[in-house]
Amino acid sequence: MMNKSLTNKSLTFAMAQINTIVGNMTANISTILTYAHRAADHHADIIVFPEMAITGYPIDDLVFQNDFRQQVSTAPQHLAQQLQDEGLGDLTVIVGCLEVEPTPDHDEEIWYTENHNSAYVISHGSIQTIYQKHYLPTYGVFDELRLFAPGDHITTITVNGYRIGLAICEDLWREGGTVSQLAKENIDVLVSLNGSPYTEGKMTVRHHLLHDRAREVNAPSIYLNQVGAQDNLVFDGGSFIIDPNGTLLLQQPQFTEDLSYWTLTGHQSHATSSTPLASNTEQIYQACVLGLKDYMAKNHMTQVVLGLSGGIDSALVATMAVDALGANNVYGIAMPSHISSKDSLTDATTLAHNLGCHFSVEPIHNMVTSINNQLHVHGLAADNLQSRVRGLILMAYANKHHLVALDTTNKSELAVGYFTMYGDSVGGYAPISDVYKTRVYELARWRNNLTTSSITHPIPESTLTKPASAELHENQKDEDDLPPYPVLDSFLYQYIEQGKKAADIHLPELSETDKNRLIHMISAAEWKRRQLPQGPKISACALCKDRNIPVSQQFI
């Protein structure tokens, strides 16, 4: 380890991987102060918080609300004063916040003309300097050029004789940008504040990226990421430090708050113990669980209700809900019809028993009969009628007991529109809406075999092995309407995540006609997908604003 600044003092970083709440500056500053106290007790010199930690991230159009901007404009100085008042003035705090730029006009009113996504450096009761993020991601789920103006100056600070360069998230991802400028500054450490959402396999990409940047600045580099879910995004934390040789000096855990330390002393560095990363499957499961948990907590809700069909989707979502909220906060309802197999009710009952959640049975036969005695619908309309009666029952429970209904549809179904509007898709949150059906099975098997939970093998074996069916008419099987899920999911992955043309997707099981039919199903379901609950983005391209295809379009 090279120490360019040739100091023999040591420098201890506290890595504060926190979970903030969008818009609750009081709660976020309280969290920041709690972690700052812990860091000071540990004799840290610097504590690093995530991008936009004071406001939460992403804040979307709150940035345009005058009362929000007014409150944020004083928050960093308010935090500086509180740190000083609580005896933490010697600690250098690096924390992200919306920077509101006031420009008084001729009428002495305050007009805000330009906002920045900034990193504040605070010590001794004052804001020492501010770095403004240069690169504002505007793609996929990001729209920062809508919200912020780009900064144009690099920022370095010196603490204990060490020179530290600052960057925020997207700054790291652009070749020849911020970091290239910092490379000329002979810095000892690169510190980046991040709000980087989880997607499958992203930790490896981040490691490679930061290794490149560490080489570029020829210094160990810190990647501090927030943790917690916000709307369609799950931030996985997993903060780390890497050196120019690619050695991982510290790895913090994913999907949980964490405070770890790293000390640089001349040529030596030392970190508190690192956390091995979980398997890909486990990461996805944890992302879904954290997504649901934070959706509930951040919306002041505690309990959920969902339909238990005996099928794999509802079984997995129920298990996730119990893991996220506790069995006592989960209400499962079996809603059998005369078409449902007996096994379905048995499987649902077994699942609820295994999970220890609330369970009730509401047969739909009388309701459906009463309605259809009047409406006389058949075929698809009758299938949908059953599904909508189930949706109506779930919403009645939700209203009656103040519960959030969970949408249990998976990504394969959402992609091709294989679900009923206002039926099986009702709810406030959709935990597996970015998980393909084949992956649903993988997650269920992984969770069944998890030995670290007090609940093992919650999902009945028959749920895992029987053919998938919506059970809306006699002998219905998903595979009568759709290609086998392994084929369908491979097609969808190549078409949606990889953006391939149909002609470039080679699957022996699918003819050109089959592929065109699937693409038309995807297109025709766009209006349905626009009316769905939020759910955690897991993949490179979730079916949310990540993939913003018009509803009215005649290309496909």
109 or 152, CB closer to its own copies? 109
- Residues from 254 through 313 that contact its own copies (CB under 8 A): 294-295, 298-299
For the CB of residue 151, give the shortest distance to its own copies in the complex, in Å: 17
Residue 355's closest CA among 322, 314, 308, 396?
322
Residues 336-375 that bind its own copies (CB under 8 A): 362, 366-367, 370-371, 373-375
- Residue with Cβ nearer its own copies (76 or 458): 76
Q: Does 325 bind its own copies (CB under 8 A)?
A: no
Q: Which of 127, 183, 421, 521 binds its own copies (CB under 8 A)?
A: 421
User: In this chain, which of 62, 209, 455, 540 binds its own copies, going by CB under 8 A?
Assistant: 62
Among 501, 509, 511, 520, which residue sits at the site for its own copies (rule: CB under 8 A)? 501
| C-alpha angle 445-451-453 in degrees, rounded to nearest 5 | 100
Number of residues located near its own copies, criterion CB under 8 A = 80
Distance from C-alpha of 167 to C-alpha of 340, rounded to nearest angstrom: 57
Contact 100, 72 (CB under 8 A): yes
Residue 134 interacting with its own copies (CB under 8 A): no
Sheet of strand 46-48: strand arrangement:
126-132, 110-123, 92-104, 46-48, 10-17, 258-265, 268-271
> 104 forms bridges with which residues in the sheet?
110
What is the arrangement of strands in the sheet containing 240-242, beginning at the earlier edge strand?
156-159, 162-168, 189-194, 221-225, 240-242, 248-251
Cβ atoms of residues 99 and 132 within 8 Å? yes
Q: Which CB sits closer to its own copies, 58 or 332?
A: 58
Check binding of 451 to its own copies (CB under 8 A). no
Nearer to its own copies, 45 or 546 (CB): 546
Q: Is 31 in the site for its own copies (CB under 8 A)?
A: no
Report 503-532 residues binding its own copies (CB under 8 A).
503-504, 527, 530-532
Neighbouring residues of 205: CB distance < 8 A, sequence distance ≥ 6: none
C-alpha–C-alpha distance, residues 411 and 419, integer Å:
11
Q: What residues from 194 to 233 belong to the interface with its own copies (CB under 8 A)?
A: 229-231
Q: Is 290 helix (H, G, I), strand (E, B) or coil?
A: helix
Structure tokens at 378: 């058949």
Distance from the Cα of residue 522 to its chain's centroid:
24
CB nearer its own copies, residue 42 or residue 146 = 146
Of 96, 253, 428, 536, the one binding its own copies by CB under 8 A: 428
130 counts as binding its own copies under rule CB under 8 A: no
Binding flag, residue 392, its own copies (CB under 8 A) = yes
Look at strands 156-159 and 227-230 and give their pairing. unpaired
Query: Binding to its own copies by residue 174, rule CB under 8 A?
Result: no
Of the residues 42, 43, 124, 146, which one makes contact with its own copies according to CB under 8 A? 146
Does residue number 102 form part of the binding site for its own copies (CB under 8 A)? no
The residues assigned a catalytic role are 51, 133, 169
Query: Which of helix, strand or coil describes residue 249?
Result: strand
Residue placing its CB nearer to its own copies in the complex, 91 or 334: 334
- Cα–Cα distance, 310 to 440 (Å, whole number): 14
Measured CA to CA in angstroms, residue 380 lies from 78, 377, 480 at distances of: 60, 8, 14
**Between residues 70 and 462, which has the closer beta carbon with respect to its own copies?**
70
21 makes contact with its own copies (CB under 8 A):
yes
The least distance separating its own copies from the CB of residue 319, rounded to whole angstroms, comes to: 23
Report the nearest approach of its own copies to the CB of residue 173 (Å): 16
Selected range binding its own copies among 126-134, 135-143, 164-172, 453-461, rule: CB under 8 A: 135-143
User: Which runs of E-coded beta strand occur in 43-107?
Assistant: 46-48, 92-104
Of 61-69, 117-125, 244-252, 447-455, the window that binds its own copies (rule: CB under 8 A) is 61-69
> Does position 22 bind its own copies by CB under 8 A?
yes
Least distance in angstroms from the C-beta of 307 to its own copies: 14
Nearest approach, Cβ of residue 397 and its own copies (Å): 8
Residue length, the chain?
556
* Alpha carbon distance 444, 410 (integer Å): 13
Q: Which is nearer to its own copies, 76 or 460 (CB)?
A: 76
Q: Does 391 bind its own copies (CB under 8 A)?
A: yes
Residue 256, C-beta contacts closer than 8 angstroms, at least 6 positions apart: 227, 237
